[in-house]
Amino acid sequence: MIYQSTRNNNELVNSAEAVVKGIADDGGLYMLSDFSKLNFDYKSVLNLTAMETAEKILGALLDDFSAGQMKNMVEKAYKGRFETDELTPTVKVGNDFVLELFRGPTSAFKDVALSMLPRLMTEGRKMLSKENDTVILTATSGDTGKAALEGFHDVEGIKIIVFYPDGGVSAVQKAQMVTQEGSNVCVCAVKGNFDDAQTGVKNAFAAFKKSGITSVQLSSANSINIGRLVPQVVYYFTAYSSLVKMGEINVGDKINFVVPTGNFGDILAGYFAKCMGLPVNKLICASNANNVLTDFITTGLYDRRREFFKTISPSMDILVSSNLERLLYLLSDGDAEKVATYMKDLNEKGYYKVSDDILEKLQETFVAAYCNDEETLKTIKKVYDDNGYLCDTHTAVAFAANYLKPQEGKTVILSTASPYKFPVAVLSALGEDNIDNEFRVMDRIRALTGVPIPKNLAGLESKPVLHSCVIEKDEITDFVMKKVAEEKW
């Protein structure tokens, strides 16, 4: 299967190379040019288990890996590592459905892709005969760091360094990261905010490239890598088959998905599913107060020149949604020149406006809505009072968008985190906010609602702290170069 850069029709790689490289040399993202060539029959996966469905879909989209390799990787990634063999169960809540993506090892939806990515990278490196180690650098605002650590720990040939903002993540998120075991992992706090950490990591990449070091290769675990996107396509199909099995829809009926969106990776995977033939009516893009995508989908103008808000749904606090570039590529029928121009405008001027034909195609599938923090809290309470279902702050944004823009047909709301990952906001939504220890807050939510605390979060407080380093923001490059030179961590 040939993937190409979204910014250059001549930069071509196969699917294994696309995963191993992560990003194209021209700064573009690797993309399939035409989904119709896959000839994928969605009906062929409706009666399969979640893992069998994953094998089929990953095999179709990344066809340079053999069926045997894919089966093996899927088993290693998922078997016994999620709360249920369904991996991502769909449950009925009121008249709608919730697709629970948080049943993995770190209780956030990023587990679905980050369990798989390390396997794809290792196998891809073998196929390309890469013998040097890969070092993954990740800056995190909380969720990605832990999910990446959990996915990459003790994976042969790969090491991982995670930087998080000192004092900028929740107590639960910090405890998840600093207690991480594994002989190839390193976790370090940075005195500064998330942007400082991310800028520091970008500088480290540049310094490394300049240094000419070849003993290791640097790579990234964020969603610009196609290997992080493809595993997310799977659960759109399993959600559809769940609705068929529940007798809620007939095969062929179109359904809607509401997706709490940040970097546009999750919702784009839904669009891939639609391009592969899954009967999808609308994809509803739900945003918090950082509503740049709501404006874009409504008007066609993407304008990042606006105030940045820190919200109670922090994984969606983002003004430049990287994966939108892939959607523009598809909607412009693979016009890489056009995409490159939009991206250049975004970089240099801070905005771009898409042509009318692209806007029209965009609105054929995408609908958008947003809500602020106050509405998010009210929604958690409403969903709980009306249906007895407790959701996290990100999922609540999706529920709110669904209330604002109801669509024809059945609707599935993607739930991206356990409510116990953001316990302080969730407890205050339920009407209490006078406890200051996050772990006590979890216990209080448990007592109030009876919803079990996920195992990986329950034992955290008593786990030994293994990573305690804190550095200044301008020390990131030196830190990386030093770690890269150390053979044994």
Ligand X SMILES: *Cc1c(COP(=O)(O)O)cnc(C)c1O
Please report, as ranges, the residues that interact with ligand X according to CB under 6 A: 108-110, 143, 223, 260-266, 315-316, 394, 416-417
**What six digits make up the tokens of 40?**
């994928």
Nearer to ligand X, 110 or 410 (CB): 110
- Residue 152 CB, shortest distance to ligand X, in Å, is 17
What is the CA angle 414-147-144, rounded to 5?
A: 75
Considering 37, 79, 92, 110, which one is annotated as catalytic? 110
The b/e string for 353-391 (b: 16+ C-beta within 10 A; e otherwise) is: ebeeebbebbeebbbbbbbbbebbbebbebbbeebebbb
- Residue 108 CB, shortest distance to ligand X, in Å, is 5
**What six digits make up the tokens of 113?**
């892709």
DSSP annotation of 459 reads T
**Dist CA 393 CA 403 (whole Å):** 15
Contact 292, 321 (CB under 8 A): yes
- Residue 232 CB, shortest distance to ligand X, in Å, is 8
How many Cα neighbours within 13 Å face the side chain of 213?
21
**Dist CA 180 CA 446 (whole Å):** 25
**Dist CA 372 CA 397 (whole Å):** 8
Nearer to ligand X, 150 or 266 (CB): 266
- Residue 258 CB, shortest distance to ligand X, in Å, is 12
What type of residue sits at position 17? E
DSSP string for residues in 212-267: T--SEEEEE-STTSHHHHHHHHHHHHHHHHHHHHTTSS-TT--EEEEEE-SSSHHH
Contact 24, 36 (CB under 8 A): no
Nearer to ligand X, 143 or 325 (CB): 143
**Dist CA 202 CA 214 (whole Å):** 18
Nearer to ligand X, 28 or 262 (CB): 262
411-415 vs 301-303, strand pairing mode? unpaired
Nearer to ligand X, 269 or 480 (CB): 269
- Residue 219 CB, shortest distance to ligand X, in Å, is 19
- Residue 201 CB, shortest distance to ligand X, in Å, is 17
- Residue 316 CB, shortest distance to ligand X, in Å, is 5
Element (H, E) at 428: helix 423-429
Nearer to ligand X, 119 or 326 (CB): 326
Contact 53, 237 (CB under 8 A): yes
Residue 110 annotated to the active site: yes
CA 14 to each of CA 32, 151, 228, 243, 271: distance values in angstroms, whole numbers, following the listed order: 10, 24, 16, 35, 21
The residues carrying an active-site annotation are 110
